[in-house]
Structure 1
Amino acid sequence: MQKNGFIALALCLVAQMATAQNEVVLKKYFDLTKNTYDSLLILQKQTRNLQSASEKEAKELYEKNTEALRRTAGAMDAINKSTSALKASLSATEYFTAISALNNPTNEELGFRLETEILKVIDEKIIKKSRLGKKGDRFKKIVSNIINNPITSFITSNIPVVNSISSVVNLVNQTVLDDDNIAPDDLKFFSQEIKRYVEHYENLAKISVELESQSKQMHTKIDALESLLNDFVRNSSTDLYPTEAKNLENLATNDLIRNYYSYAKVDATIRGIERKFTSGGKIDYIKILEDGRMNYSIVGRQKLDFLGDELSKISNEYLNSLDNYHKNVTDILQKANNLTQDKNKISQKIESLNRQYKNLRNSFEQNLDLKTAKSRIVEVPKY
């Protein structure tokens, strides 16, 4: 294959995989892929050298190649499991559910209930001084209904809560517009009190939106990494099983590893090839290296490092985003001390979230098992 044709084919494959978000990752991968032609020339040169190589030199190269093939299969299995664990960790957990519950206006875990606090201010500054009279109770029921309407009860998002508070403010303003008994200072006090709760829920909304945005970015990066993993495992499997190339085209990474590229499968394949080149109990190392299946890609080793680095980078980014999110949550809860008479509840909630977050982080690191993935990559010989 001509050099330009080889590079064009590699570029075409990468272009098909690229999206706006993962373009940078795939470009790095292509920077490795485009060097494959040069590595092929090196491999061809090594093959020519084998013709004059000693049996000892051939044996050393063969053992290095087969160790690399086996170790790479083990490393890819570990990387694939870690990537799957990373993706699964983006799903909802007990920790996020606990924080989401704080967005519900009926929640009292922080020592206050939004409905009660708003009605208290309305009763003191509006109803007792207004001309509502007997309609005051009905007015309060309307306010309660606005705050605790079904939308805010079932969708624990900050936006409905803030919208409900805004609706209450508008209702109060319209009701007392022509009521001379309500002094401007009363309305000002009412607005200031309400504003404190609005800020609390808006702050929760802000960090939730930021985390959701970061999670989407993580999903995009993980999807790109999964595509590269599949590409690597499929190509490596095709090298070992060239007659199966068509069957390998659309297989998922898990299926490729399970059926073709596990450590055990690769080991069995190598042993099967060895038997074909064994005579009198002795392997012909020079001849067996002429079998393309027993060669190991130099660029493949570089790609393996790249995949491991990307996995580490994405997992670190995710942990950093979680750490920042948890810090922001605790800061918001500390400020909520100004909204409650029972500050012990704030402390208890922070302690509870700290425990849940610690469990979340420990579980993430345990399931990710980045240490195993890294150690298996290191075990693969370098060329």
Structure 2
Amino acid sequence: MIIAAAVNENFANYSNYLIRSAMFVYALAFLAHLAEWVFGGRSRIAVQSAALAADAGRADGAQAGSTAAAVTVVRRGAAGTTTLERPVAVRPTVVTRASASDRGIADGPGAAGGTEKGDLYGRIAVSFTVLAWMLHLGGVVFRAASVRRAPWGNMYEFSTTFGMVAVGAYLVLLLLKKDVRWIGLFLTTTVLLDLGLALSVLYTSSDQLVPALHSYWLWIHVSCAIISGAVFYLAAVGTMLYLFRDHYEVALTAGRAQGGRWGDVMRRLPAAATLDKFAYRMNALVFPLWTFTIIAGAIWAQAAWGHYWEWDPKETWSFITWVAYAGYLHARATAGWKGRKAAYLALVAFACFLFNYYGVNIFVTGKHSYAGV
């Protein structure tokens, strides 16, 4: 018989304070990232864009050049050697939309625009992000200590831990010297929305869970789901930015360079091919863990309910999400799907993940509903 431990209200309050403090510092990081994008050198970006447009124009001109060429014909006979110029018709090359990997466009200079001022704001933003993450981590740890269990037993706890893991994964990539600071603005925006929703709509006071959730599988199954979702999220950001950057590159190679603030942002991003590769690698990296998450959930279901699988809404949508990501990876590996088709499929898969969390938990009743909102 499991005896529920009393709730430590002091630790629960510390957790709330730390989460709110983390939101404040994340807001400072967001403003610093915004300054990084705004004050990065636009002049250098414009020069780079003009160079890329000129190179694209020369390449197109070389492909779709003249429709006729002169062929030199040399005739040798008894009277000597005669040289003739014979015009030969040449079929013009039709310029089609090249895939991102075939354009050969280099990565943009990043959010800072390659300037010292922009880079300074970017470094400040990363410093604020690290501080916010430490406060965020403290809030999650105190929430766990307040009830002496895994701090992801309901939607509020899952959301706060999810945001913490997403930011942690981003910081690990930075620690590994990966050029991913362009994610920072979008990540801090999303984490602020995530924590705001958690505190205003999904908040649940610290309390013990129903007996069925008192299992070591809570630590294994749900933690794997959180890590998988956080990495899927980073991949989804890369995929969405790929679609925008790809549209920009198509316009650039067609000689329709985009100006204004939006064009400035697009010019700073990594090349479409780089973003596509980043999203694919992130999805491929975490897909085995998502597979294990479903298997672990089935094992826990058998221990708790006596059946491995009963097509509960949560189980069903977890499987649908798995099929969507499996289809995406299979299409990339065997059918050679790259570019927009693969990107749309990846976004559909992530939408399935989001619906599995928000839609199923809030609007659908099932065996997983006992965790509460």
TM-score scaled by length of structure 2 = 0.27
Higher strand share: 2
**Rg larger for:** 1
Which one has more relative contact order, counting CA pairs under 8 Å at least 6 apart? 1
TM-score scaled by length of structure 1 = 0.26
